[in-house]
Structure 1
Amino acid sequence: MSNENAAAALRKAAASVYLPGDDGYDEARTVWAASTDLLAAAVAFPQNADEVGSIVRAAAENGLTVTPVGTGHNAYPLRDVGDSVLVRMSRLDDIEIRPDTRIARVGAGAVWLPVVQAAAAHHLAGMHGSAGDVGVVGYLTNGGLSWYARRYGLAVNHVRAVELVRADGSLVRADAEHESDLFWAVRGGGGNFGVVTAIEFDLLPFADAYAGMLAWDLTEAPQVLARWREWTADLPETVTSAYRHTQFPPMPEIPEPFRGRQFVIVDGAILADDAQAERILAPLRELRPELDTWGRVPATAVPLIHLDPDGPVPGGVAVAQLIDSLPQSAVDKMLELAGPGSGSTLLAAELRHLGGALARPVTDGGATSWLDGQYHLLGVGVAFDPETKAALTAETQRFVSEVGAGVSRGKHYLGLHQGAGDTRSGFDDVTWQRLRSLKAQLDPNAVFKPNHQI
């Protein structure tokens, strides 16, 4: 950083600040999306909300922007952060469970698995996603697509309050009765309106679920995909599932039977008793999967069923979009591009079943309260060098574009979208205009520069 005054102000604002050239700077700026090269003006690790406020004031007074980062699972859309202070929230990781009201209050550095474990001690569950190490705040403020979503909708609809630092450095609490415009905007608008320091949300009144996975060799994909497509056409809202083709590298840390093989996997959760769940799963089990882990499991096991990687992923590539239906043409194209014999290099080619409560706008919801699609289409790859990444990106884009041809309107669920510069695709026109208006009102100098910028 060339501005000595800015450097001094930031070092005064927080105990842990790293500038380019400092020992520890490169480690401090590295996030879960490890291929995202965040060459920030500074990286700060606040200890509390007061330090967050001091950092925001110091940045704004010295012409810098602020980029809040939790774990950085979806940091991929971040591009030029050379004028920005990365505010790493990992140290604000307190967790409070209020069993009498079924509400959790967690700091902005908390990740899902410890929250789920704390809730389970009171026979409650959280609306986490498919990985336990995802940050709670980033996940919730961008929507939150959970294994219970077809029954309970997007997780963001269960947020009750946020505490955040505004562009002037002041700390405010926003809920349905206080700062209601801000509360609306943050629920879907992510970090565009301030740095969230804590969040309160509802927990669910159960301690277990019928969940797991079915797995077949990839050669079985044609019949499994046809059956899953038919199966999802008439499911109760108590069932949330995903279908994917995935390949596991031949690495010693990959357990048998997955090591070095390609699979078709159907995983998810069913909120029903065992007898009902087994009846629901019967059409898929008729196809005799090689592996069947579905059963009654504690809520603490559900974040682990999707087999997401435990740590940062180098060279990650992901392309996704919402699609309105799953016609035979889409099925055929998915098999052609990522099925047996396709030669696909994608780590995963996935469809998530939406609909149910996800398809219903919430009257008192925020900027994102529902998803305008029946399925979520996703292609994921991992590359270890720039040349491979370029080819993999092209393959992933082709997969999503061609499978979604004719059934996509270019809409995205921003919580799983890595595209830069197309935040508008996550909102309808009316919502987008309101978000833009509130951004101009609440952050007129564009101090906040999150992954999906408004």
Structure 2
Amino acid sequence: MNTPVPSAATTDSATLSLREALALLDDRIAGRVLISGDPGWDEARSAWNLAVDQNPAAIVVAATADDVAHTVRAAAEFGLAVAPQATGHNAGPLAANDGLAGVILLRTHEMRGVEIDAESRIARVEAGAQWGDVVAAVAPLGLTALAGTAHDVGVVGYTLGGGVSWLARSHGLAANHVVAIEVVTADGGARRVDAEHEAELFWALRGGGGDLGVVTALEFGLFEVPALSAGMLLWPIERTAEVFTAWSEWIDGIPTSVTSTARVLRLPPMPELPPFLSGRSLVVVEVAMQEDPARVDELIAPLRALAPEVDTVHPQSSAELLQLHMDPPQPVPGLGDGMLLAELTPAAIRAFVDAVGPDASSVLLSAEIRHLGGMMDPGVARAAASVHGTPQPGVTAGFDAGFLLFGVGIALPDNGEALAASLARLLSAVEPWAAGSDYLNFAEHARPAERFFGDDLERLRAVKRAVDPIGVIRSNHPIG
């Protein structure tokens, strides 16, 4: 269990000592140290979700892996903890209940290096790299990464939590394709771990989140995808029940080359949106299909038979996938949360539609259900690794669940109660079909660690005790 560290100084003399220690650290690193009141403080402490208020004892903006090591050592010496953060996605659980008191927020967003070995199809990315950086580097080489759904998602945080991409049903979680990790542990030492070097830590980091050390670089596999079509099919929100029912029947038996999401959108009138989206309430199916165009037409015919108002499915490069989900292009204030569903029965669809469909009073911007299965089944992922002679997956190999739900809305000054109520109604409505676990990256509020790691939790905690016995490293979802 994480040992509490003292909060930032409570007396004038202690404040002076903290300032002196931070000034010494600032002199040692290529990056910079900030304390409250410094120019750039508010920008540096901002999470991607602007509704999250982060108030650490200090902030270090790291420029190099050496900066990370210096920061971790200085924090341990001064009785502080360190919370690594690149983009600040999913920062809510870390900041809640004054969770950053006595903590140095270690921002790695300026460490954006990306190196590609096209021959071995391996990418090496630094701690602050975003998926837009990686895709821009690999697409000209005809290679594809198991990227998130938006260009500004941080590669490291996404991957340490598992990583569900548009190719996940055929390729599994992004974490399963990590081949090496460079990490600074609580003693300030830099390690490079893989399947043969510190294998237990390598296992724990792949899907265990950010509680075990500060990852300064990842190496992971890239893929060739010879054929890809993707896009969305769109109908008025009044057809939500019909579309979700048809989609749930369509995915039954669909090949793993197809990953899809069904969602309800209530979009505000925004000039940057095209007219067919701006200010409208819609039901949408998004698809990514690794098939040639003729096979795509054959597979998608049952959905097209519903006469969508808009159909953008077309052959494309994998780089276009970053635009498919229409995630906001910049940080916004929001409230959201996710849930794994064991199954999607007709009753579950009715409950979902009642909560967010045309007759609901929901103010959620988006309520979506992603189809899982295929290589995201943990047993299938482990068996595939054995057959292909690749490293066995880490602590999160996949999900014992068929679907992943997420609801989110934009937090405005006048909609806080309505937004919270809408999210609560959605989660409560589908609770009877919840799986027995949760997905780290989609859990925007604190959960017991057992919900993420199940029977592997004690093994994971043993790794935490071995590399961080006094709890120097803090994450949004601590192992405990």
Secondary structure of residue in 2 paired with 1:161: strand
Secondary structure of residue in 2 paired with 1:250: coil
Whether 2:414 is the aligned partner of 1:399: answer no
Question: What letter is aligned with 2:476?
Answer: N
- 1:178-202 Cα deviation digits (max 9, x unpaired): 1111101110112111100000000
- The offset of 1:7, in angstroms, is 2.3
- The offset of 1:207, in angstroms, is 6.1
d(CA) in 2 for partners of 1:242 and 1:390? Answer: 28
- 1:144-182 Cα deviation digits (max 9, x unpaired): 000001101111101111101111111110100111111
- 1:188-229 Cα deviation digits (max 9, x unpaired): 112111100000000011265111111111111121111001
Query: Does the aligned pair in 1 maintain the 2:84–2:214 contact within 8 Å?
Result: yes
- The offset of 1:389, in angstroms, is 2.6
- The offset of 1:139, in angstroms, is 0.5
Question: What letter is aligned with 2:183?
Answer: L
Query: Does the aligned pair in 1 maintain the 2:362–2:419 contact within 8 Å?
Result: no
Q: Which residue of 1 aligns with 2:86?
A: 70
Query: Does the aligned pair in 2 maintain the 1:93–1:108 contact within 8 Å?
Result: yes
Q: Which residue of 1 aligns with 2:215?
A: 196
Q: Which residue of 1 aligns with 2:267?
A: 248
Question: What letter is aligned with 1:327?
Answer: T
Whether 2:288 is the aligned partner of 1:282: answer no
The CA RMSD measured in Å over matched residues stands at 1.4
Q: Which residue of 2 aligns with 1:374?
A: 402
Q: Which residue of 1 aligns with 2:342?
A: 324
Q: Cα distance 1:6–1:388, how it changes in 2: closer, same or farther (>3 A)?
A: farther
- The offset of 1:449, in angstroms, is 0.5
d(CA) in 2 for partners of 1:103 and 1:367? Answer: 22
Q: Cα distance 1:96–1:208, how it changes in 2: closer, same or farther (>3 A)?
A: farther
- 1:377-413 Cα deviation digits (max 9, x unpaired): 111112123x7334422321221221231x2144211
d(CA) in 1 for partners of 2:232 and 2:135? Answer: 20
Secondary structure of residue in 1 paired with 2:458: helix
Whether 2:88 is the aligned partner of 1:59: answer no
Q: Which residue of 2 aligns with 1:433?
A: 458
- The offset of 1:8, in angstroms, is 2.6
d(CA) in 2 for partners of 1:367 and 1:9? Answer: 38
Question: What letter is aligned with 2:63?
Answer: Q
d(CA) in 1 for partners of 2:447 and 2:253? Answer: 37
- 1:230-258 Cα deviation digits (max 9, x unpaired): 01112111110000000110122222111
Whether 2:450 is the aligned partner of 1:424: answer yes
d(CA) in 2 for partners of 1:312 and 1:348? Answer: 16
Partner of residue 263 from structure 1, selected from 282, 298, 308 = 282
- 1:355-379 Cα deviation digits (max 9, x unpaired): 1111133441101111110011111
Q: Unaligned 5+ residue runs, structure 1?
A: none
Question: What letter is aligned with 1:134?
Answer: V
Q: Cα distance 1:82–1:37, how it changes in 2: closer, same or farther (>3 A)?
A: same
Question: What letter is aligned with 2:133?
Answer: P
Query: Does the aligned pair in 1 maintain the 2:167–2:259 contact within 8 Å?
Result: yes
- The offset of 1:422, in angstroms, is 2.5
- The offset of 1:87, in angstroms, is 0.8
Question: What letter is aligned with 1:81?
Answer: L
Secondary structure of residue in 2 paired with 1:138: helix
d(CA) in 1 for partners of 2:475 and 2:135? Answer: 26
Query: Does the aligned pair in 1 maintain the 2:23–2:33 contact within 8 Å?
Result: no
Q: How many residues align?
A: 450
Q: Which residue of 1 aligns with 2:367?
A: 349
Secondary structure of residue in 1 paired with 2:316: strand
Q: TM-score, normalized by length of structure 1?
A: 0.96
Q: Cα distance 1:53–1:221, how it changes in 2: closer, same or farther (>3 A)?
A: same
Q: Cα distance 1:324–1:18, how it changes in 2: closer, same or farther (>3 A)?
A: same
- 1:399-446 Cα deviation digits (max 9, x unpaired): 1221231x21442111111121433311122x1111111111110010
Q: Cα distance 1:52–1:248, how it changes in 2: closer, same or farther (>3 A)?
A: same
Query: Does the aligned pair in 2 maintain the 1:92–1:109 contact within 8 Å?
Result: yes
Whether 2:180 is the aligned partner of 1:165: answer no
Partner of residue 32 from structure 2, selected from 9, 16, 20 = 16
Q: Which residue of 1 aligns with 2:389?
A: none
- 1:72-107 Cα deviation digits (max 9, x unpaired): 111121121021111111111111111111110011
- 1:304-343 Cα deviation digits (max 9, x unpaired): 11100000011x1112111111111111111111111212
Query: Does the aligned pair in 2 maintain the 1:140–1:187 contact within 8 Å?
Result: yes
* Residues 88-167 of structure 1: pairs in structure 2 closer than 5 A: 88-167=107-186
